[in-house]
């Protein structure tokens, strides 16, 4: 019990910071949070806590910016996400920490490497369906798919608030699926206390709310520039951490 109190407070502090980042850029914060949770918790516990936290963070962000949500994209995303759910369920696959970290780190570089001729745009129907399938699948396997999701929006011409709102709605859906999937597997490890979940959820709502005024003042140009930079930096850190853990294994 004594250890649960500082754990809840420290996780709450981390969630506030990462929720502010996500609230401004519509991503990156969830990736940072997954990196931290993946280092201090068993994979199953990290996935469930991350999923619950991100559900409330993204869900509250979608509520705040609800007038900007593109519901056509949401519908097509769900159409693509539906079959992707079956892949990890049939495999019953839970990645170990090095694999998870390396996967998270590689994703933004793969996305950035796509040539302009293959530029993805979530406003195009088939691209939105492909977005749902690939993002939902990676969300379940690696825990975070924000960098992959972003590549479907970063080259679109829609307003930054529409990007943040629509991505928040898609991520709330994906994190609901992830909590359900890993919630079944979490019986294999010691569950976290309700105080940890409560602190994380409250912190997610606070951080998301604080980010709103900052996003309003930012230009669309700066929004896209900073998003690309932050994701690549975080990706590099994730790869280094994953390789380090892999090398340390017996």
Q: What average pLDDT does the segment 13-26 reach? A: 87
**DSSP character string of the chain:** -TTHHHHHHHHHHHHHHHHHHHHHHSSSHHHHHHHHHHHHS-HHHHHHHHHHHHHHHHHHHHHHTGGG--HHHHHHHHHHHHHHTHHHHHHT----HHHHHHHHHHHHHHHHTS-GGG---TTSHHHHHHHHHHHHHHHHHHS--HHHHHHTTTTS-S-HHHHHHHHHHHHHHHHHHHHHHHHHHGGGSPPPPHHHHHHHHHHHHHHHHHHHHHHHHS-HHHHHHHHHHHHHHHHHHHHHHHHHHHHH--
> What is the pLDDT, as a whole number, of residue 209?
93
**Mean pLDDT, the chain, as a whole number?**
80
Confidence band for 186, pLDDT divided at 50, 70 and 90: low
Write down the domain spans for the chain: 4-248
pTM of the model: 0.73
> What is the pLDDT, as a whole number, of residue 135?
84
Which of 16-20, 25-29, 109-113 ranks highest by mean pLDDT? 16-20
């Amino acid at each position: 019990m004594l250890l649960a109190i500082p754990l809840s407070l420290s996780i709450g502090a981390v969630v506030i910071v990462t929720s502010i980042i996500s609230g401004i850029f519509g991503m990156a914060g969830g990736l940072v949070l997954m990196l931290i949770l993946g280092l201090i918790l068993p994979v199953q516990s990290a996935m469930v806590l991350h999923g619950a936290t991100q559900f409330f963070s993204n869900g509250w962000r979608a509520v705040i910016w609800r007038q900007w949500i593109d519901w056509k994209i949401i519908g097509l995303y769900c159409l693509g996400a539906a079959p992707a759910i079956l892949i990890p369920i049939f495999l019953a696959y839970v990645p170990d920490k090095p694999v998870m970290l390396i996967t998270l780190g590689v994703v933004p570089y793969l996305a950035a490497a796509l040539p302009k001729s293959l530029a993805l745009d979530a406003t195009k129907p088939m691209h939105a369906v492909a977005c749902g399938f690939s993002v939902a699948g990676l969300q379940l396997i690696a825990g975070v798919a924000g960098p992959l999701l972003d590549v479907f929006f970063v080259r679109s011409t829609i307003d930054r608030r529409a990007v943040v709102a629509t991505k928040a709605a898609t991520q709330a859906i994906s994190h609901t699926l992830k909590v359900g999937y890993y919630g079944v597997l979490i019986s294999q490890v010691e569950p976290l206390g309700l105080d940890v979940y409560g602190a994380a959820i409250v912190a997610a709502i606070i951080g998301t709310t604080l980010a709103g005024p900052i996003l309003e003042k930012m230009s669309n140009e700066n929004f896209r520039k900073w998003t690309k930079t932050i994701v690549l930096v975080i990706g590099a850190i994730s790869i280094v951490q994953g390789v380090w853990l892999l090398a340390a294994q017996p």
